[in-house]
């Protein structure tokens, strides 16, 4: 508390040995440092006159002067570094807040943010939150639909979109399935260019297409058809997905009149080469990733005359220009 005095005057008597001075306390509370009408609920020092107070410093005010201003008590926050009376200079976020929720497929964060990050994100149409990311969801597509890189299907050829293939297998109401290219990516190719032997890769399930392919690729470059499918990476292929040589099960799904007709009609719409018309011959053998025996592998035969069937043929015959690779992709 400051104490100030006002010198009102000095009187000198005729007696030179005596000098008198008179000091009177000022009546100005503000001049004495009393500036508040109340001080933290009556705490502090009251001016002897008037209704002013001089506030004593609090722990909070001292901490704030030192830069400790954050309570760090919002959702997901914890204190960062040293504290002063429960306040911090900076806040940290719980480790569960790790997603910025930005980029393709993201519409924003879910719930309250902490430090600009969220526990989970919300996704735009055509995407779903899975394994910590917005990934393309699985659309429900009918066999014969054309599938595009934006994860949509259509019965028509849509301009401004990247076409990836035609749906040859559908999972129904659960969404997803398999597509095949509308053109062969290679013809006149062998299943195996070396001395044939049993690989044991005989799985015929539709879901085995890629596992079969990877097993064949692991055996070396001599398995030409599988390597060609595995190396196919057209623009628009979803991140993390690979094209594969179709299994027996996938090709057998084309082996009925309804599906065969729908698929070839859509390939025509896409201006591709219908199955059976993919080579310069009057027929086409679409190679599979399923082995039949040590000498033969399964493939799908279709002729320009409309005949089709699942057959098995020689793995290593190199002069067969009517054999083709039409890769498949799961969606």
Give the pLDDT confidence of 212-264 residue by residue, as tens digits: 999 999 999 999 999 999 999 999 999 889 999 999 999 999 999 999 999 99
Locate 278 and state its tokens: 């993919």
Closest to 300 measured CA to CA, from 229, 143, 308: 308
Q: Which alpha helices (DSSP H) does 35-157 contain, by range?
A: 59-65
Locate 306 and state its tokens: 């409309």
Locate 176 and state its tokens: 């997803």
Cβ burial, residue 278 (10 Å; 0-12/13-18/19+): buried
Whether 290 contacts 297, CB under 8 Å: yes
Predicted TM-score of the model (pTM): 0.64
DSSP 13-56: -SSTT-EEEEEEE---TGGGT--BS-STTT-SEE-SSSS-EEPP
The ranges of the chain with pLDDT < 70 are 1-25, 40-42, 318-319
Phi, psi of 62 (to 5 degrees): -65, -45
The confidence score (pLDDT) of residue 42 equals 64
Phi, psi of 318 (to 5 degrees): -90, -15
Please state, in angstroms and rounded to a whole number, the distance separating the CA atoms of residues 291 and 295.
9
The confidence score (pLDDT) of residue 43 equals 72
Whether 294 contacts 280, CB under 8 Å: no
Closest to 287 measured CA to CA, from 274, 300, 304, 302: 300
The confidence score (pLDDT) of residue 4 equals 40
């Amino acid at each position: 508390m400051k104490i100030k005095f006002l010198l009102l005057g000095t009187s000198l008597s005729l007696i030179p040995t005596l000098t008198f001075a008179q000091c009177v306390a000022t009546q100005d509370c503000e001049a004495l440092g009393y500036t508040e009408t109340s001080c933290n609920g009556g705490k502090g020092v009251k001016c002897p006159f008037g209704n002013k107070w001089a506030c004593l410093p609090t722990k909070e005010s001292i901490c704030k002067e030192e830069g400790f201003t954050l309570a760090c008590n919002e959702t997901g926050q914890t204190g960062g570094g040293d504290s002063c009376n429960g306040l911090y200079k900076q806040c940290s976020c719980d480790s569960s807040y790790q997603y910025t929720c930005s980029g393709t497929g993201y519409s924003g964060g879910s719930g309250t943010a902490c430090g600009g990050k969220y526990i989970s994100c919300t996704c735009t149409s055509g995407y779903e939150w899975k394994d910590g990311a917005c990934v393309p969801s699985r659309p429900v597509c009918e066999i014969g639909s054309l599938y595009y890189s934006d994860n949509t299907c259509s019965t028509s050829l849509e301009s401004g979109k990247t076409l990836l293939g035609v749906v040859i297998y559908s999972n129904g109401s659960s969404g997803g399935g398999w597509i095949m290219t509308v053109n062969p990516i290679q013809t006149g190719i062998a299943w195996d260019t070396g001395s044939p032997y049993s690989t044991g890769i005989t799985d015929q399930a539709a879901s085995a297409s890629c596992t079969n392919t990877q097993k064949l690729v692991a055996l070396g470059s001599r398995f030409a058809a599988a390597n060609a499918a595995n190396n196919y990476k057209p623009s628009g292929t979803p991140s993390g997905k690979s094209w594969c040589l179709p299994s027996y099960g996938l090709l057998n799904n084309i082996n009925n009149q309804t599906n065969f007709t729908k698929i070839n009609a859509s390939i025509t719409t896409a201006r591709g080469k219908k199955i059976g018309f993919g080579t310069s011959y009057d027929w086409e053998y679409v190679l599979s990733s399923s082995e039949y025996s040590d000498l033969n592998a399964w493939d799908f035969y279709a002729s320009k005359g409309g005949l089709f069937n699942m057959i098995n043929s020689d793995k290593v015959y190199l002069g067969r220009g009517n054999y083709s690779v039409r890769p498949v992709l799961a969606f």
